[in-house]
Structure formats: structure tokens, C-alpha cells
Amino acid sequence: MSKKAAIYIRVSTEEQKKGYSIEAQESVIREYAKNKDYEVYDVYNDEGYSGKDFNRPEIQRLFSDLANDKVDLILVWKVDRLSRNNTDVLNLIDLDLTPKDKRLIVTSIDIDSSSPMGHMFISLLSTFARYERLTIIDRVNAGMKKRAEKGLWNGGAILGYDSVNKHLVINKDESKIVKKIFKLRADGMGYKSIVKRLNSSGYKTKKEKDFSISSIKFIVNNYIYTGKMVWSRYQEWNTKRRNGKTDPLIVDGVHEPIISEELWYKVQEVNKAQNKKYTTNRNFNGNFFLSGLLKCPKCGTGMVMSKSKKRSGGYYYYYMCQAFHVKGKSVCNSNLVRKEEIEEKVLNNIALLVNNNTLLDELIKEINSNSIEANKELNDDITKYNKQLRQLIDKRSKLDQDYFDNKIDSSIYNRLVLQLESDYKAVEETLRDSEKQVNRNMDLVSKDQIIYVLKNFNSLFNTVTNEEQKLLIRTLVKQVKVEENRKDIKEIDFWYIPSNVLPSNKMRGTVSQIVVKQRVELLIKKNG
């Protein structure tokens, strides 16, 4: 019986630009499979994806078919088509292929992973592939750094300039917008006010979108508009994100400035002053537990916190349209809703549920049935996890036997043992968590408990922390719509009550109902 082979092919976007052919790869590998009398099960094509890791759709599909024993062999033209990370390649061979008597074959040199010699060559090739990738990255970064040191642009779109042959050329129309932004900021105008001014005047970003607070912040903190070039503000952003922040290289650029240094430094002083003021005043004693749930009566966007000073001291608190908050009146209006009034009405409406026996019965049924259903799923998971543990034990036994039979050396044995022990611990912890969740779900909520909580909802609600209040509201309420007068409630949609407005994601609803049960128990426990 012929072996079933998976053909894996890949070229990155950069390789496509250089003329590398994905079709040629497939053709060569098919010819190889034909000569070896392998049956081609399927072709897995990750065209346009990088080989830095296994985060690719087709290779994940291949792994799934491999786990389900649909294929016996993986055929690749070169090992770097599979991955440029040698650890990924070796783990695939040692943990997923060899224990199941499956193989990786590199067709260009006709070697496979089943023999010690083949394993050694593939290990060396994947090591060289990783080295080549790191070398390419270093070479590209070095080239970009040299360009930056010379004041040259490294590419990309930026408002105020056009990139012509990797050189920045002032865009006259866009530069007027940039100057206007810096002038408004220098006059002490806040980010939000600038956004409102620009959007209401019809100005657009480089991508023809409305301005937002973040886009204004980016502009007024960008040295490039002073004729400078900035490089390496962050290193290894893909992995380190903001933790990779470094002191950037700032040099004179070869492009023309849009604003003067005098205007730049004036804006930076405004930025420092307002950042200090923001840091001082951003926190206050207020729990906006309806944020996001309360919908703007005009545009339907979630509403967020807002405040205004009282003449006598202190603040008035409101919910404000988030679209207006971010992009200004060109998108929507503030549509302020008094915080205290709307929250009280929502809590009162929740308490009134106790008068509707049909809804109470449905609530009990939904919460408890979902707890039972959740336990069925958890028990299935527990069975699966126990099976995985047995498989890992079997792998360890086989690994021990291979070591004693001198089929593998001590370095490989030690590495695989450590990996198996790590996998076993992870599965075991997940199993214990699932078993604990099953036990928690065994206690069903009674109708008397629900009635007690709803009758005393307002008073009980105030006994829990702000975070618990937010969690409880979000597990009960899907959204709150208000009338155009911004005082009366138009509609409250609950997650657990059958109606025309139900969550589209059934799993989200199920999770919410389980958490409702836990929150109800918390309220009862805190109040005897």
C-alpha cells in the first residue's frame, strides 16, 4: 500500500517579487512523489506567508490532517519552505512525526527524517535556514539604519509628504493640514478639540479617513515635520512591543521641514503641560458600570464617561457618545446622559424582573440547563485530557525504551523528556481546572435565590466592589437603549431572557449564564 503524502509549498511575499515560482515547487515535488510511488493526499499552499514560524493557515491544516492520520509523509522542496526556525522543525520531527512512524522528506536532496543521517542533515539545514533568516533581518535593519543615519526615508505613508523613490516630497495640500494641527496645538487646544475642528471642516487623513485623537497625537509628536529623521524608537516590535523602547536615533533629514523648530518646541511644551494635567486628573471616584452597554440614541455607538465641573466644586457625571468623544461632531453629538439617573433606572428595571414569573422560570431554566450542558462539555474535555495523559505516558515509555536500545543519544533523550514532562504538566493542570469547574456547576440555583437577589438587587448591588458591579451588569445586560430625550429607557436587552434580541454567539451567552450563577451566589454569600 502506497504512502499518503502531503505536499507543502510556500514562497514569501518578498520571494514572489524576486520571481520565485510556487508552481515550480509543486511540479518538482509531484514528480518526486510519482517516482517514489507516493499517493499525493493534498497540496498545502501558504503562498505569501513568511517562514519565521508556524503561524500560517495551510500548515496548520496540514498539522490537523497529520494528527488525524490522513497523511504519512510531508514532502517539501527545501527545509526552509517548512520553517526558518530550526526548533520548530526539530520539534515537529521528534514529537509529531517520529513517534507515529511518519517522515519529513526534503525532495531537493532526497533525504528524510527517519534515518539518523537524514535527521542530522535536516537539523543542520534548518539551523542554516534560521541563521540565514537572522542574517537577512540584520542586513535589512543595518541597511535601513544607514539610510536613516544619512537622513533618508525608509518608506511608508505619512501625512504632509509623498514618498517618491523613497524620498520625502512635501505634499502642498496635506502640509497645510499639518501646519494647522501644530498651530492649533501650540495655541493650547486639546487633542479632542483639534479632532472636532478638522473633521467638521472636512479634512481627512492620508488614508481619507476622519481624524482621531491617536492620529493627532502621532503628528504633534513626530520629529519628521521639523526636517529630522527618527530611527529605532522601538526594537523588535513584533515580539517585544513597547518593552523594546529605546533611545531613538535623531538626525537631520534630507527632506524639507513643514514646520519651524520654534513651533515644534512650543507644541512640546503644551504636550508636557497637558500630559501632566491629564495624569493628575484622569482618576476620580466614579464607577461607570454602563460604559459600552449604554447606546447613543443617535448613532448607536457605546457611551463612555464624561464629567463637567460644578461651580460649587466637584463634578457632574455623564455618559457621552464614544464616536463624538473620539472624532467630534462631524460624526455625532455628545448626547450626554446623566449618570445617576440612568443607572438608577437600569437597576430598578432589573429589580422589576421579580414580578414576571414567566421570565423567572425561563431564567432558572436557562442558568441551570446551561450549567448541566456546560458540565457535559467539560466531562467530554476531561475524557480527552485523560486520554492525552495516557498518550504522553506511552510516549515516555517508548522514549525510555529507545534510549535503552541505543536508538537515540542522551542529548536528544534529555530534550524530549523535558518537553514531554512540560506537556504532561500543562495537560494535568487543565484537567484539574476542568474537574473543579464541574464541581462548581453541580450546585444549581433555586428560584428562591433568584427572587431574593432581584427583590433586593439595588441594595445588594452596592455591597460588592466596582469591578464586581461591572461584571454582574455585563453578565445580565447585553445593551441599554435610551429614548431621544436621553432620560427614559427605550429598551434593555438581557443575555439570558429569550427574546428577539439574543446574542449571536451562543457560547458567549452560555458563559454569561454560568457567570450569572456565580455572581448570584456571591451576592447571597455576602449578605447571608
Cell triple for 471: 461584571
pLDDT at 430: 80
pLDDT at 74: 95
Residue 407 Cα distances to 101, 261, 270, 398, 419, angstroms = 14, 70, 70, 11, 18
Helix (H) or strand (E) holding 249: strand 249-252
Domain co-membership, 69 together with 101: yes
pLDDT at 39: 94
Task: Report if residue 140 sits inside a domain.
Answer: yes
- Is residue 397 packed enough to be buried (19+ CB in 10 Å), middle (13-18) or exposed (0-12)? exposed
Q: What stretches in the chain show pLDDT beneath 50?
A: 234-244, 278-285, 498-519, 521
Residue whose C-alpha is closest to residue 90's, from 123, 47, 116, 112: 123
pLDDT at 73: 94
pLDDT at 103: 92
CA dist., res. 10 & res. 58, Å (int): 10
pLDDT at 71: 93
CA dist., res. 255 & res. 229, Å (int): 9
Domain co-membership, 372 together with 497: yes
**DSSP 3-state of 49:** coil
CA dist., res. 162 & res. 169, Å (int): 5
Domain co-membership, 90 together with 171: no
Give the sheet arrangement for strand 489-494, strand by strand.
294-295, 477-482, 489-494
Q: ∠ CA(109), CA(110), CA(114), 5° rounding?
A: 125
Domain co-membership, 92 together with 26: yes
pLDDT at 242: 44
pLDDT in tens, 241-273: 444 455 667 888 888 899 998 999 899 888 887
CA dist., res. 383 & res. 380, Å (int): 5
pLDDT at 79: 85
pLDDT at 427: 82
pLDDT at 295: 92
Domain co-membership, 138 together with 168: no
Domain co-membership, 139 together with 247: no
Residues 6+ apart with CB under 8 A from 110: 32
CA dist., res. 19 & res. 400, Å (int): 48
Task: Report if residue 252 sits inside a domain.
Answer: yes
pTM score of the predicted model: 0.38
Domain co-membership, 167 together with 256: yes
Domain containing 452 equals 357-526
- Domains identified in the chain, total number: 3
Task: Report if residue 309 sits inside a domain.
Answer: no
